[in-house]
Amino acid sequence: MSKQIDIGRVLANLPLFQQLSDGEIANLATGTREIRLEKGRILFQKGCALDGFYITVYGQIKLAFSSLQGHEKVVSIVGPGQSFGEAVMFMEKPCPVMAQALENSRLLYIAKQGIFAAIDHDSAFAHRLLAGLSMRLHSLIQDVENYSLRSSTQRVIGFLLQLAGMPTSGPVEFALPASKHVIASRLNLTPETLSRILHSLSESGLIAVKGRRIVALDVARLSRFDDSPPPPCAKGSRAVR
């Protein structure tokens, strides 16, 4: 039962909590529970109230909502070191999404009382929280922008470029962070469409695909695709738009 020690250590190393005093870390730790979740298990359903939030230690959690028709849309894939649920906690409203483990995972659940105490005590912490929420908001707006004024191909390219990082140029290899099914949903596509797009990109020599691994062969050209107005008529390019 080395839980207590573990939790304090883990908390203290998170960017969000880096600069808190030992006392506050200890205080947070008392309100913190460890959660192990096996692949496929649901952490909470859409509509639940949360009076705390979660941090992923390892594993992978997907946040998604599902229509009454049973369709599901993945909003976010959260990995180690990332947190989720803060907004719901501060809002005191039912959670708009559900959370499910994509792999066996280990999380921390941090009760809001400790957070609130830390805010009262240390206004720099409040600043970090505000900045964190703001970043989240920002990326959500990016999503809205992607969904509303970019084609499916552009969304895929944008996603790949993001995974590739800002590379020096030259080919970059990386792995998709989840099954193609999940990725497709995250990008608002069907798996079929994603498959076709990846196929067509590799036909154009822009990328190479083997299973979950992808090589971005020509990052420069890829980026150009990403946001170029389709030239007046992209001649003969069934493949592209």
Partner DNA sequence: CGCCCGCTTGATCGTCATCAAGGGCGGTGG
Partner DNA sequence: CCACCGCCCTTGATGACGATCAAGCGGGCG
Instruction: Write each residue from 71 to 90 as x if it is in contact with DNA (CB under 7 A), else as -, in one continuous string.
Output: x-------------------
Name which of 113 and 200 has its Cβ closer to DNA: 200
Find the shortest distance in angstroms from Cβ 65 to a second copy: 5
Give residues 26-65 in contact with a second copy (rule: CB under 8 A). 65
Of the candidate residues 34, 51, 120, 203, the single one contacting a second copy (CB under 8 A): 120
Of the candidate residues 26, 143, 174, 202, the single one contacting a second copy (CB under 8 A): 143
Find the shortest distance in angstroms from Cβ 66 to DNA: 13
Q: Which residue has the tokens 């409203």?
A: 93
Sole window of 18-26, 132-140, 160-168, 211-219 interacting with a second copy (rule: CB under 8 A): 132-140
Q: What is the DSSP string of 14-62?
A: SGGGTTS-HHHHHHHHHTEEEEEE-TT-EEE-TT---SEEEEEEES-EE
Angle between helices 191-203 and 152-164 (to 10 degrees): 70
Should residue 229 be labelled a site residue for a second copy when binding is judged by CB under 8 A?
Answer: yes
Torsion of CA 180, 48, 88, 24, to 10 degrees: -110
SS3 string of 184-207? HHHCCCCHHHHHHHHHHHHHCCCE
User: CB neighbours of 32 closer than 8 A, spacing ≥ 6?
Assistant: 7, 11, 108, 109, 110, 111, 114
CA-based nearest residue to 209, from 185, 174, 179: 174
Should residue 145 be labelled a site residue for a second copy when binding is judged by CB under 8 A?
Answer: yes
Of the candidate residues 190, 220, 221, 227, the single one contacting DNA (CB under 7 A): 190
User: CB neighbours of 161 closer than 8 A, spacing ≥ 6?
Assistant: 216, 219, 222, 223, 226
Instruction: Write each residue from 207 to 236 as x if it is in contact with DNA (CB under 7 A), else as -, in one continuous string.
Output: --x--x------------------------
The CA distance from 25 to 125, in Å, is 12
Find the shortest distance in angstroms from Cβ 218 to DNA: 19
189 binds, among a second copy, DNA, none (CB under 5 to 8 A by kind): DNA
> What is the token pair recorded at 24?
């506050």
Residues at the site binding a second copy, with contacts judged by CB under 8 A: 65, 67-69, 71, 73, 75, 86-93, 96-97, 116, 119-120, 123, 126-127, 129-131, 133-138, 140-145, 147-150, 188, 227-230
Under the rule (CB under 7 A), what is the footprint of DNA?
71, 151-153, 179-181, 188-196, 198-199, 209, 212, 241
